[in-house]
Amino acid sequence: MKPLIFKIIIIAGLCFLTACQKGNKERDLTKGPSVNNTIPDSIHNSSVKIVLASEVDWTYLNPKRKDKAPMAGTLWGDRTASGPTGFLLKPKDSFSSPPHIHNVSYRGLVISGLIHNDDPNAENMWMPSGSFWTQPKGHVHITSAKGVNTMAYIEIEEGPYLVLPKEDAFDSGERPVNQDKSNMVWLDASEISWSEVNGSQMAFLWKEHQLHGTLLKLPEGFKGHLYTKASTFGAVVIKGQPKYAGEETTILETGSFFSSKGEVLHRISTKNETILYIRTSDKYKVILNK
């Protein structure tokens, strides 16, 4: 009988230890994962691409109007094809379009200068750098610009992007958004789990299926990484001139773009306050240099 009793005691002891270990793991999970334990020190990812605003090819946004139309420079995709794309819009000072529609809906962010986008009969509402707007397909509107160096970022989820006469108007059921930078809702790092950097802020702009768009504000003197595993990740510089450290260090002037697919650490540093617009299919993490 003694061997049997001894075996029972051993089994009971093992069960007790297992229960304790399980309890410890459950308590640790309530504290959240450690950044240093979950994010590798370095990642080799050849999918990273950088497009400088100074290197884009500029063409007429509406070839039929030639120099009466704004210039457009593609950052990613192809606005004449069927897929999604993002491009820079550069209108002349005092530009104002005739009333028109588009065959697809788009989003816009003001990078520099002032942009007005609204119903043809609406009073001018000039949106400064950092403002966000959407334009539903089929809705008649005008777009105007003020400033010698006005530039905006335009993004669509399906193409091609066409400018059509107002007579072709239709109601898509969507409604436009005009969000001045002064009405942007910024969340501090203490309010979200996406950032461990004091002084950083995020503004959530839109969500569509798996994709979402955010503004990320990085403080002056930031040195760290944007960590992502997203299959789609792209960032446009709205404000500032951050440095991107890859195989070589690149200064990203406003309007520049960087992107990746899969797991990657984007190494960023700032001299002045910087704002990035980020379009991604998953969450990302803002971390300091280790």
The predicted model scores a pTM of 0.86
Number of CB atoms found within 10 A of residue 190's CB:
7
d(Cα 160, Cα 102) in Å, to the nearest integer?
Answer: 10
Averaged over 178-207, what is the pLDDT?
96
Of 131, 152, 183, the position where a domain reaches its end is 183
CA-wise closest residue to 201 among 286, 126, 271, 119: 286
CA-wise closest residue to 47 among 244, 259, 225: 259
DSSP 182: G
Q: Please tell me whether residues 216 and 240 are part of one structural domain.
A: yes
8 Å CB contact between 133 and 206: no
Here the CATH number for the domain that contains residue 174 is: 2.60.120.10
Dihedral through CA 7, CA 12, CA 13, CA 17, nearest 10?
140
DSSP 243: E
Number of CB atoms found within 10 A of residue 217's CB:
22
Q: Please tell me whether residues 191 and 240 are part of one structural domain.
A: yes
Q: Please tell me whether residues 164 and 227 are part of one structural domain.
A: no
Is 70 exceeded by the pLDDT of residue 153? yes
Q: How confident is the model at residue 30 (pLDDT cuts 50, 70, 90)?
A: very low
Ranking 39-48, 70-79, 176-185, 248-257 by mean pLDDT, the lowest is 39-48
d(Cα 161, Cα 105) in Å, to the nearest integer?
Answer: 9
Residue 166 counted as domain residue: yes
Q: How many domains does the chain have?
A: 2
pLDDT of 31 reads 31
Averaged over 99-121, what is the pLDDT?
97
Residue 128 counted as domain residue: yes
The range of the structural domain enclosing residue 140 comes to 70-183
